[in-house]
């Protein structure tokens, strides 16, 4: 597997201009911002060129007073966190691996525990530079908080997994660093019902849940409190009293870092044989959706880890696959959902037709999830590719 590591955006653009004619034969290159010391998931059956943006990792523009920063797509999130913290600022991330690049974070748009309070990835991205598949370099958005001029292309790029182009620079919105940040781990039988588990609890900045709905074993939850010392102290006392009344074991995790990955130290590694699926049910149908997933996964051979985010109604499923992630067959439950959607024109996702995205997986999983996307999303993507590339790529690029 050949790897291209351009030292500048100009070098990357020159490569794009000279490579357009080969895409129809070789397929779209895989794009990564992380090191390739482990096999990129899902690429085992797709030998191709890998484009690494790891050398595009400089700080291009930093305006602390305006709460904005522009960096290269290859910068690690851990490095970005240190840069903004030194200026007393903060990028609210949770459950995001520190080795992920900024470009990979934007292109994959992973769910975070802070999404309910600070918004998803697309709210943090103000502008970006994108290398189109025809070799052109384009700039979308503006480094301002309120921008109503033109189309909001940066929001479309968030979660595109490099299928629309390669992200080279990103302008991010920052937040004042909270004066106090505390993380707590909760465990107890009363946490098994996701929709009612936090009834009467104080306000949290981040909430995530792990377990099985209605299962005999105790479920667990991770919560975060951020803000001024008085606010956090008051809500901590309310949290302790609430947990005591419901027989919930509470333990402070003792992590003061506000960088990525701080609230999810037990997240499994990402070797080439792992797979992760993200399903959006919505807050009102989260518990019912989890029960439906339990029913679908009961016959699966591989063990599954289920994590839910009550504030946004999103579920993340992770497994250490026994077979390579590049296998030709998607899980039976995912194929069933995808086929049901593919047979008819379906309105926006509901409990019966949840939205599915692939965070990590093989060619079959990506193909199944693409069929489950809304008609509008598929139409926009097809028009984009026809206008800027002229070819239909075989599947989504695996932007790590």
**Predicted local confidence at residue 270, as pLDDT:** 46
Residue 380, pLDDT above cutoff 80 = no
Stronger pLDDT, 28 or 207, i.e. the higher one? 207
180-252 and 274-373 in the same fold: yes
**Predicted local confidence at residue 111, as pLDDT:** 86
Contact between 57 and 8 (Cβ < 8 Å): no
Stronger pLDDT, 77 or 149, i.e. the higher one? 77
- Range of lowest pLDDT (109-113, 313-317, 330-334): 330-334
180-252 topology per CATH: Alpha-Beta Plaits (3.30.70)
**Predicted local confidence at residue 213, as pLDDT:** 58
Stronger pLDDT, 88 or 375, i.e. the higher one? 88
Task: Work out the pLDDT band at 89, boundaries 50, 70, 90.
Answer: very high
Q: Mean pLDDT over residues 169-177, rounded?
A: 94
The arrangement of secondary structure in 274-373, i.e. its CATH architecture, is 2-Layer Sandwich (3.30)
Residue 49, pLDDT above cutoff 60 = yes
Q: Which of 25-34, 92-101, 178-187 has the highest mean pLDDT?
A: 178-187
Q: What is the mean pLDDT of the chain?
A: 77
- Range of lowest pLDDT (155-169, 266-280, 358-372): 266-280
pLDDT tens profile 62-84: 999 999 999 999 998 889 999 99
Going from N- to C-terminal start, the domains of the chain cover 3-176, 180-252, 274-373
What percentage of residues in the chain have a pLDDT greater than 90? 24
Residue 324, pLDDT above cutoff 60 = no
**Predicted local confidence at residue 225, as pLDDT:** 93
Residue 18 φ then ψ, to 5°: -95, -5
Q: Mean pLDDT over residues 360-389, rounded?
A: 71
Q: Mean pLDDT over residues 196-225, rounded?
A: 82
Stronger pLDDT, 69 or 111, i.e. the higher one? 69
Distance, CA of 131 to CA of 114 (rounded, Å): 30
Residue 200, pLDDT above cutoff 60 = yes
**Predicted local confidence at residue 34, as pLDDT:** 60
Task: Work out the pLDDT band at 228, boundaries 50, 70, 90.
Answer: very high
- Domain 3-176 class in CATH: alpha beta
């Amino acid at each position: 597997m050949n790897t291209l590591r351009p030292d500048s955006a100009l070098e990357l653009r020159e490569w794009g201009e000279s490579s357009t004619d080969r895409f129809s034969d070789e397929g779209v290159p895989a794009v990564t911002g992380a090191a390739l010391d482990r096999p990129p998931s899902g690429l085992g059956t797709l030998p191709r060129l890998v484009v690494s943006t790891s050398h595009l990792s400089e700080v291009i523009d930093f305006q602390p007073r305006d709460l904005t920063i522009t960096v290269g797509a290859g910068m690690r999130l851990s490095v970005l966190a240190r840069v903004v913290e030194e200026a007393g600022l903060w990028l609210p991330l949770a459950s995001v691996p520190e080795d992920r690049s900024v470009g990979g974070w934007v292109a994959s748009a992973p769910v975070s525990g802070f999404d309910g309070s600070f918004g998803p990835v697309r709210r943090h991205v103000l502008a970006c530079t994108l290398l189109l598949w025809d070799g052109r370099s384009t700039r979308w958005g503006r480094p301002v908080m309120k921008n109503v001029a033109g189309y909001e292309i940066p929001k479309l790029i968030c979660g595109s997994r490099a299928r629309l182009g390669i992200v080279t620079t990103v302008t991010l919105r920052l937040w004042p660093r909270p004066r106090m940040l505390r993380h707590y781990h909760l465990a107890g039988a009363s946490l098994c019902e996701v929709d009612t588990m936090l009834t009467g609890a104080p306000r949290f900045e981040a909430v995530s849940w792990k377990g099985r709905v209605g299962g005999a074993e105790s479920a667990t939850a991770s919560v975060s409190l951020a803000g001024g010392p008085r606010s956090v102290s008051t809500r901590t006392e309310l949290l302790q009293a609430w947990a005591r009344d419901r027989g919930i074991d509470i333990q402070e995790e003792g992590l003061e870092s506000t960088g990525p990955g701080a609230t999810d130290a037990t997240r499994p590694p990402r070797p080439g044989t792992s797979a992760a699926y993200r399903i959006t049910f919505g807050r009102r149908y989260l518990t019912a959706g989890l029960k439906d997933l339990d029913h679908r996964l009961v016959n699966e051979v591989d063990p599954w880890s289920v994590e839910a985010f009550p504030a946004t109604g999103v579920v993340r499923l992770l497994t250490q696959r026994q077979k390579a992630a590049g296998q030709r067959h998607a899980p039976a439950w995912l194929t069933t959902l995808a086929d049901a959607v593919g047979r008819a024109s379906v309105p926006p996702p509901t409990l019966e037709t949840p939205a599915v995205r692939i965070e990590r997986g093989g060619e079959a999983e990506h193909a199944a999830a693409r069929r489950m996307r809304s008609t509008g999303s598929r139409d926009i993507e097809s028009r984009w590719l026809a206008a800027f590339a002229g070819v239909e790529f075989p599947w989504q690029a695996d932007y790590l």
